[in-house]
Amino acid sequence: MELATLEPGDELPPVTIEDLQGSDMKLGAALLQDPYPPHFDERTAEEMGYPRLLNQGPFNLSYLLQCALQPAASPTALESFDTRFHAMVFEGDTVTASATVDSVRKDNTDGKPEAVTFSIELTREDGTVAVDGTATVRVPDE
Amino acid sequence: MDPTELEGIELPSGEYTVERWKAFLWADATRNDDDTFRYDDDAIEAGENGQLVPHTLCQHIAFEATGGIESTMGRLADDWTSGAALGQLRATFHGPLEVGQTVHVEGHIANVERKEGSSGGLTIVTHAYDVRTPDDEPIYEMEADMILMEGA
Mean pLDDT across the stretch A70-95? 97
Q: Report the alpha-carbon distance of residue B143 to residue B107 in Å, rounded.
A: 9
Q: What is the tens place of the pLDDT at every residue in B22-74?
A: 999 999 999 999 999 999 999 999 999 999 999 999 999 999 999 988 888 88
Whether residues A62 and B34 touch (CB distance < 8 A) is answered with: no
Mean pLDDT across the stretch A95-123? 96
Q: Report the alpha-carbon distance of residue B92 to residue A134 in Å, rounded.
A: 12
Domain region containing B104:
3-149
Please provide the size of chain A in residues: 142
Q: Which residues are CB-contacts of B71 (< 8 A; sequence separation ≥ 6)?
A: none
Sorting pLDDT into bands at 50, 70 and 90, what band is A65?
A: very high
Among residues B52, B28, B26, B56, the alpha carbon closest in space to that of B39 is found at B52
Whether residues B55 and A85 touch (CB distance < 8 A) is answered with: no
Mean pLDDT across the stretch A77-100? 98
Q: Which residues are CB-contacts of B128 (< 8 A; sequence separation ≥ 6)?
A: B107, B108, B109, B110, B141, B142, B143
Q: What is the tens place of the pLDDT at every residue in B74-123?
A: 887 777 777 778 999 999 999 999 999 999 999 999 999 998 877 788 89
Mean pLDDT across the stretch A91-103? 98
Whether residues A74 and B86 touch (CB distance < 8 A) is answered with: no
Average pLDDT value over all residues in chain A:
96
What proportion of chain A, given as a percentage, has pLDDT over 70?
A: 99
Write out the E strands in A28-139: 78-85, 95-106, 113-124, 129-138
pLDDT of residue B152 exceeding 70: no
Read off φ and ψ for residue B100, nearest 5 degrees: 85, -5
Question: Which residues of chain A approach chain B closer than 8 Å at the C-beta?
Answer: 17, 24-25, 27-28, 31-37, 57-59, 61-63, 65-66, 69, 73-76, 78-85, 133
Look at residue B41 in the predicted model and tell me its pLDDT: 98
| Number of domains into which chain B is organized | 1
ipTM: 0.95
Residue of chain A whose alpha carbon sits nearest to that of B26: A28
Read off φ and ψ for residue B151, nearest 5 degrees: 80, 5
Look at residue B7 in the predicted model and tell me its pLDDT: 86
pLDDT of residue A1 exceeding 90: no
Q: List domains and CATH numbers for chain A.
A: 3-20+55-138 (3.10.129.10)
Taking the CA of residue A38 and the nearest CA in chain B, the distance in Å comes to 9
- Domain CATH for B93: 3.10.129.10
Look at residue B1 in the predicted model and tell me its pLDDT: 64
The residue type at B103: V
Residue of chain B whose alpha carbon sits nearest to that of A82: B90
Which B residues in the span 74-103 are in contact with A, Cβ-Cβ below 8 Å?
A: 81, 85-93, 96
Look at residue B69 in the predicted model and tell me its pLDDT: 84
Q: Does B44 touch chain A if contact means CB atoms closer than 8 Å?
A: no
Q: What is the tens place of the pLDDT at every residue in A17-59?
A: 999 999 999 999 999 999 999 999 999 999 999 999 999 999 9
User: Of residues B106 and B1, which shows the higher confidence score?
Assistant: B106
Taking the CA of residue A51 as centre, how many other CA atoms within 13 Å lie in the half-sphere pointing to its CB?
6
